[in-house]
């Protein structure tokens, strides 16, 4: 980790920058993929699976036989773990539903707002070096609670043409019957534009590599909604000398192992503690199966020493981390100071892994500083909020003059007349 002691505030803007990528260079190739999928549909998806995934598929859709076989192949322990995570995620997201309230803003003028599910959503689940069936839970559970009518799942096949059994088992739990063996930008194109096997959807969710990220950004320009701007995973840990260096190192590595472009940041008020964490990082890294990924990610990462917790919180808010861990004494006193973060983990016994898998909160979160303005995925992500209003004749008499005055001031006579013509009718009665 790059270590800096008491960085000046003039340095902060540079320190919060993520590792840069020139994603624009990828656009030309992705747009060509889009063109092929739009023009040739399933045939293009099959051809691109052979080109990019190295597999010759007979068909794109997963069969019921494959789903049944997948369930039989999983251990009882894993199925029970998935069911427990499913339950916790469902409990947390169910309580996000907002009751509908009718509000009379003035006599005779009633307004309300109703949550309506997005009818068709697409879920993209990576299946390469880490088959993220946990992400399928994070997306599929709130989609089902919201009442989305159609869920389409795209995930890349392995070299033998199969989909990871845990992904298929989780899809079955969620009632997702259309599982498509397609990955990368071509999967995003299929869900955005539709093919013979893949219906076009209204909103696309899910993480992916840089090709998937750019593909989602491009379809969002074409009118298909996406969940949020996503990028490499990241965590920022604020720790004082009450923290356990082994725990902190484990939390940093849990994000570093996602990939070489991940970033982990440690803020502490003790240089001695930072040195102890670095020793733990070295020891734990040596035994990780994904040591190569994690090691490269640590090369993008920072260890910063500040004089106070307040300074660390200020830096964290500027950084706006996807995951924020507070391993400090009296963390409760810091909560009101947190304004920019995707998800926050409190105390020495709240590992970020809990949120990734099973505590109940959603792990699909804004990265790359987008937590300054974006929230993570929630039940709200799968619904639209439609407003309604009803105005009685009495209500129109009460509010009509206000509308007429404002419309006239803007020079919009037709707006004014839409009220005036009604008032004449009401006043004649």
Does 317 count as an annotated binding residue? no
Does 211 count as an annotated binding residue? no
pTM of the model: 0.95
Does 255 count as an annotated binding residue? yes
Kindly name the residue from 257, 278, 280, 322 that is annotated as catalytic: 322
Does 348 count as an annotated binding residue? no
Q: What is the pLDDT of residues 163-203, one digit of tens each?
A: 999 999 999 999 998 999 999 999 999 999 999 999 999 99
Per the annotation, the verdict on 32 as an active-site residue is no
How far out from the chain centre does Cα 207 lie? 7
Q: pLDDT tier at 301 (50, 70, 90 boundaries)?
A: very high
**Percent of the chain scoring above 70 in pLDDT:** 100
Please report the pLDDT score of residue 209 as a whole number: 85
Q: pLDDT tier at 22 (50, 70, 90 boundaries)?
A: confident
Mean pLDDT of the chain: 96
Q: Any idea what DSSP says for residue 52? A: I
Kindly name the residue from 323, 332, 352, 413 that is annotated as catalytic: 323
Query: Domains in the chain, start-ordered, CATH in brackets?
Result: 24-98+118-226 (3.40.50.1980), 231-375 (3.40.50.1980), 392-428 (1.20.5.1300)
Q: Taking phi first (over 0 means left), then psi (-120 to 50 degrees means alpha), and beta for anything else, what does residue 428 get?
A: alpha
Does 197 count as an annotated binding residue? no
Q: What is the pLDDT of residues 59-72, one digit of tens each?
A: 999 999 999 999 99
Range with the poorest average pLDDT among 64-73, 81-90, 121-130:
121-130
Q: Any idea what DSSP says for residue 260? A: T
Given a cut of 90, is residue 19 above it in pLDDT?
Answer: no
Please report the pLDDT score of residue 229 as a whole number: 80
Does 363 count as an annotated binding residue? no
Q: What is the DSSP string of 10-37?
A: HHHHHHTPPPP--THHHHHHHHHHHHHH
Per the annotation, the verdict on 322 as an active-site residue is yes
Burial bucket for residue 263 (CB in 10 Å: 0-12, 13-18, 19+): buried
Q: What is the pLDDT of residues 228-262, one digit of tens each?
A: 987 789 999 999 999 999 999 999 999 999 989 89
Q: pLDDT tier at 386 (50, 70, 90 boundaries)?
A: very high
Range with the poorest average pLDDT among 51-55, 79-83, 353-357:
51-55
Does 356 count as an annotated binding residue? yes
Given a cut of 90, is residue 424 above it in pLDDT?
Answer: yes
Given a cut of 80, is residue 24 above it in pLDDT?
Answer: no
């Amino acid at each position: 980790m790059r270590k800096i002691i008491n960085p000046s505030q003039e340095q902060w803007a540079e320190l919060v920058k993520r590792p840069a990528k020139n994603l624009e260079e990828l656009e030309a190739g992705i747009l060509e993929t889009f063109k092929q999928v739009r023009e040739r549909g399933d045939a293009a998806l099959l051809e691109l699976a052979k080109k990019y995934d190295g597999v010759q598929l007979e068909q794109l859709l997963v069969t019921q036989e494959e789903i049944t076989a997948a369930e039989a192949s999983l251990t009882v322990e894993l199925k029970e773990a998935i069911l427990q995570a499913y339950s916790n995620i469902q409990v947390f997201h169910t309580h996000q539903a907002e009751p509908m309230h009718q509000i009379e803003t003035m006599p005779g003028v009633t307004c309300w707002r109703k949550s309506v599910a997005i009818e068709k959503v697409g879920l993209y689940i990576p299946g390469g070096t880490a088959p993220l069936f946990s992400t399928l839970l994070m997306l599929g559970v709130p989609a089902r609670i919201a009442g989305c009518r159609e869920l389409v799942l795209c995930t890349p096949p392995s070299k033998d043409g199969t989909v990871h059994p845990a992904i298929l088992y989780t899809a079955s739990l969620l009632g997702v019957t259309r599982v498509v063996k397609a990955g990368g930008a071509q999967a995003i194109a299929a869900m955005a534009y539709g093919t013979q096997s893949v219906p076009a959807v209204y909103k696309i969710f899910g993480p992916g590599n840089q090709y998937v990220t750019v593909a989602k950004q491009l379809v969002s320009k074409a009118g298909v909604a996406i969940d949020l701007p996503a990028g490499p995973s990241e965590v920022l840990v604020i720790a004082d000398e009450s923290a356990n260096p082994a725990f902190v190192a484990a939390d940093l590595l849990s994000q570093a192992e996602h990939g070489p472009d991940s970033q982990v940041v440690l803020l502490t008020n003790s240089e001695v503690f930072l040195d102890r964490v670095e020793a733990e990082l070295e020891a734990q890294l040596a035994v990780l199966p994904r040591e190569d990924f994690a090691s490269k990610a640590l090369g993008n990462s920072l260890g910063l020493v500040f004089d106070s917790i307040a300074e660390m919180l200020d830096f964290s808010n500027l950084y706006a981390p996807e995951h924020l861990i507070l391993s400090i004494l009296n963390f409760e006193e810091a909560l009101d100071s947190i304004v920019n973060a995707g998800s926050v983990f409190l105390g020495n016994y709240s590992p970020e892994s809990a949120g990734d898998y099973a505590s109940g909160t959603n792990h699909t979160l804004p990265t790359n500083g987008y937590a300054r303005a974006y929230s993570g995925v929630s039940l709200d992500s799968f619904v639209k909020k439609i407003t309604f209003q009803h105005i009685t004749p009495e209500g129109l008499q009460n509010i009509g003059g206000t509308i007429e005055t404002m419309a006239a001031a803007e020079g919009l006579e037709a707006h004014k007349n839409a009220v005036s013509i009604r008032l004449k009718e009401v006043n004649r009665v």
